[in-house]
Amino acid sequence: MPRVYVSAVMDVTIDEAWNVLRDFNALPVYHRFFKDSHIENDWPADRIGCVRNFRTKEGDDYIREQLLSLSDREHLCCYTIIEASIPLWNYVSEMRLRPVTESRQTFGEWWAEFDTPPEQEEDLVGRVTDTFRFAFEGAAEVAKARRRGAS
């Protein structure tokens, strides 16, 4: 079972980063890979058990993920893939933010464990790694843009 782990320091405060990343339906807002996300059954995007359904920008791949936990206190989000057009099974992922108090930055960690066919493992580990890395980069850019807009 592969395990992917990505960490990053974002040049925004924890509140700024969390305001972007806590929205379970906001992937297309901050991530360059995804589009057309929606929460099924008109549930709120922060309701445990809600399912987000989204596609890649190429439109070929789709993923349905279910929110397992969301903690504003711990700046933590955990979810699982329940259906996907790419071969990722038993996929569980968690994202957590922590403040870097000296610099008012944010340390982010994102990990996932999953099963996949052995012949596709290297490619999919790379895709998941890039997904997490670009998510942190995009979230920081959106948070900075919101900060500039509020000024």
Question: pLDDT by residue (tens digit) across 67-77?
Answer: 999 999 999 99
Q: Name the average pLDDT for the chain.
A: 94
**Tokens, residue 7:** 């960490």
Residue 78 has pLDDT above 70, yes or no: yes
**Mean pLDDT calculated for residue range 97-119:** 96
Give the domain CATH number at 51: 3.30.530.20
Query: Could you list the residue range(s) of the whole structural domain that residue 53 is in?
Result: 3-150
Q: How confident is the model at residue 58 (pLDDT cuts 50, 70, 90)?
A: confident
Q: With 0-12 CB in 10 A as exposed, 13-18 as middle and 19+ as buried, what is 3?
A: exposed
**Mean pLDDT calculated for residue range 56-79:** 93
The strand ranges marked E within the chain are: 3-10, 34-39, 51-56, 62-71, 76-84, 89-100, 105-115
Per-residue confidence (pLDDT) for residue 151, from 0 to 100: 59
Q: What is the pLDDT of residues 24-48, one digit of tens each?
A: 999 999 998 898 899 999 999 999 9
**Mean pLDDT calculated for residue range 124-146:** 96
- Give CA–CA dist 126/10, Å, rounded: 21
The percentage of residues in the chain with a pLDDT greater than 90, rounded to a whole number, is 87
User: Shortest CA distance to 12 belongs to which of 147, 150, 133, 149?
Assistant: 147
Per-residue confidence (pLDDT) for residue 56, from 0 to 100: 86
Beta bridge partners of 10: 106
Measured in whole angstroms, how far is the alpha carbon of residue 144 from the centre of its chain? 18
Per-residue confidence (pLDDT) for residue 36, from 0 to 100: 87
Per-residue confidence (pLDDT) for residue 130, from 0 to 100: 95
| Sheet bearing 51-56, strands edge to edge | 3-10, 105-115, 89-100, 76-84, 62-71, 51-56, 34-39
Structural domain tally of the chain? 1
